[in-house]
Amino acid sequence: MPEYRIEEYVDMHFVYGECGGNARAAARRYAERFPGRRQPYRETFSTVDRRLRETRSVLPKNQEIGRGRDPDMVNIEEQIITRVEEDSSASTREIAREVGVSHWTVWRRLRESLLYPYHLQRVQSLSPNDFIPRQNFCRWIVNSNNETLGFLSSIQIC
């Protein structure tokens, strides 16, 4: 559950009570009443209510809060994304060396940004020597089709 200000937790609990403990209705009413705020999931309303009853506080315990982002890590994430935008062919290890983090950190940040590293691999190419054999093949196809009616329709491509 994301962290909210105390006033937001109190408003959530108040709206949840107004709606008779109906989390879906509370989520709708909260969105109507506070359109400029971040909208919590409907489970958040029941979690706030449960937390208040169990601990007498709307604030989550430390074990309920995920580890926050290190401010330096935010800067590193921006460097990683900027580097990928500049040169999408750069490897994760190359970016890791430049930024000063492990390549696993680069992988993780790319995946969080819905970017997936890959290497282009050419599997086919045309060389100047390919022209004559291809031309001969095309002539053979045309001649075979002229000699045998329906030759092209009898070819099965797997």
pLDDT in tens, 22-32: 999 999 999 99
Evaluate the CA torsion angle 21, 22, 27, 28 in order and state its sign. negative
Task: Indicate yes or no: pTM above 0.85.
Answer: no
CA distance 49 to 58: 8
Which value, to the nearest 10 degrees, does the dihedral of the CA atoms of residues 9, 14, 20, 26 take?
-60
Length of the chain: 158
Tell me which fold the domain 69-147 belongs to. Answer: Arc Repressor Mutant, subunit A (1.10.10)
- The pLDDT assigned to 65 comes to 54
- pLDDT by 10s per residue, the chain, length 158: 458 888 898 899 999 999 999 999 999 999 999 998 989 998 999 988 888 888 888 777 655 555 556 667 788 888 998 998 898 888 889 999 999 899 888 988 888 888 876 766 676 778 888 899 999 999 999 999 999 888 888 887 76
Residue type, 52: L
